[in-house]
Amino acid sequence: MGTPVAQGYSLLDFVELKKALAAMVVGETKAVAARTPVSLAGDLLATEHITVPITALDIHEFTHPPEAVPAMDAQTFLAQLNRVLPTAGRDETLPTLTGVQMALEGETLAMAATDRYRFAVAEVPATATVQPLEKPLTTLIPGGILAPLAKRLKSYEGPVGIGISENGEGVIARANLSMGDTTITMRPLEGSLPKHGSLFPTECDTSVSVDRATVVRAAKKCQALIKAKGENSTPVSFGFTYQDYHGPVLLTGGADAEGDTVPLSKDKLLAVLTSLEEEL
C-alpha cells in the first residue's frame, strides 16, 4: 500500500478481509499477486480493477490501542522472550499461568512466566519513552500469541515498541506490540503472576557448571529408558559427586534419590535443556 491520503480508522471483519484479498488476485502468479497495489477507504477495498465492500463494525466498540513506544532492540527483546516463553504454562484450566507477564517500570521491561514448577524472569532495556511513566504498568499477554510472534521477529532488525493500558472507567485493558508498520493489539489475560522477588535466592553456597550438550544427551537417554520401562511420571534426578571440589553430574531415572540428588520431571528438564540448546 502507498502513502495514506487521509488519516482514520476502520474496524473490519478479519476473516472476510483475508478471503477478499486472496480472491482479488486469483489467477495471478505469486509474483504478480505480491506486487498488486491495494487501497482501503473506509469499508472499500480496491485494486486497479476491482472494488469490494468489506463488512465494517462500529469503531466505538473497539478500544483504541495505547501508543506503542519503539523502545527496545528487536533481537535483544527476542533473545529474552525466548528464555521466558518455554516456562509459560500449557494448562488451559489455569489461564493466568499460560501468559507472559510484562511490566514497564522506568527504563526496563521485565518479562516473567511460570507453570508452577518453573519461574523464569528476564529484563530488556527500554530507553525511549513518549513521556516518563507515572507508575509501573503491567500486562499479562497470552503465550500462544507471543510464540508465533517470536518466529516473525527472527528476521526483523528494527525497534520493537510496547504499549499498555489498564482497566479503567469505560476502558478495557489492552496491550500492543509494534514492529515497523505492523502493530498487534491484544486483550490481556485476567489476573497476575505471583510476586517473584522472594523466590530467587540472593546467595548460593554451592554451584556447579556442566557442559550443556552432555547434559542434553544424558537426559534424552534417561527419557528413552524410562519410556522403554513404560513409566510416565518417573522423575529424572541430578546427583552431584565431588572429588577435590570437582566431579561428575549423575542423571538417573528411577526412585527418588537421597542426599544431594534433586528430582526433576523429565519433561520439564528436557523442555529447559532443549530451549537452552536452541537459544545458545
**pLDDT digits 0-9 by tens, 98-143:** 999 998 887 888 999 999 888 999 999 886 555 566 777 888 999 9
Q: What is the pLDDT of residue 224?
A: 85
pLDDT at 280: 46
Cα separation, 161 vs 145, in Å, equals 16
Cell of 277: 540448546
Using a cut of 0.85, tell me whether the model's pTM lies above it.
Answer: no
What are the residues whose beta carbons fall under 8 Å from the beta carbon of 71, sequence distance 6 or more? Answer: 109, 126, 127, 128, 129, 159, 160, 161, 162
- Contact between 225 and 253 under an 8 Å Cβ cutoff? The reply is yes
pLDDT of residue 63: 60
DSSP H helices in 36-119: 74-84
pLDDT higher than 80, residue 7? no
Residue pLDDT, tens place only, 15-33: 999 999 999 999 999 999 9
Whole-number Å distance between alpha carbons of 228 and 265: 17
DSSP for residue 191:
S
Asked if 222 and 280 count as a contact pair (C-beta separation under 8 A), the reply is no
Average pLDDT (67-87) is 84
Per the structure block, which three cell numbers stand in for 255? 526412585
- Confidence bin at 1 (pLDDT 50/70/90): very low
The answer, yes or no, to whether residue 46 has pLDDT greater than 60, is: yes
Average the pLDDT over 143-168 and give the result. 83
Cα separation, 69 vs 131, in Å, equals 10
Using pLDDT thresholds of 50, 70 and 90, give the confidence band for residue 259.
very low
Tell me the backbone φ, ψ of residue 264, rounded to 5 degrees.
-135, 145
Does residue 97 register a pLDDT over 90?
yes
The 10s digit of each residue's pLDDT in 161-219 is 888 877 666 556 778 888 877 888 888 898 889 888 777 777 877 777 788 888 888 88
Cβ neighbours of residue 70 closer than 8 Å, sequence gap 6 or more: 128, 158, 159, 160, 161, 178
The whole-number pLDDT of residue 227 equals 83
Contact status, residue 68 vs residue 163, Cβ threshold 8 Å: yes
**H/E stretch holding 267:** helix 266-279
Least trusted range by pLDDT, from 93-102, 144-153, 268-277: 268-277
C-beta of residue 1 within 8 angstroms of C-beta of residue 38: yes
Average pLDDT across the chain, whole number: 78
Per-residue confidence (pLDDT) for residue 198, from 0 to 100: 78
Which amino acid type is present at position 231?
A: E
Q: What is the mean pLDDT of residues 35-48?
A: 89
Q: Which amino acid, one-letter code, is at 49?
A: H
- Per-residue pLDDT at 247: 53
High-pLDDT (> 90) share of the chain, %: 21
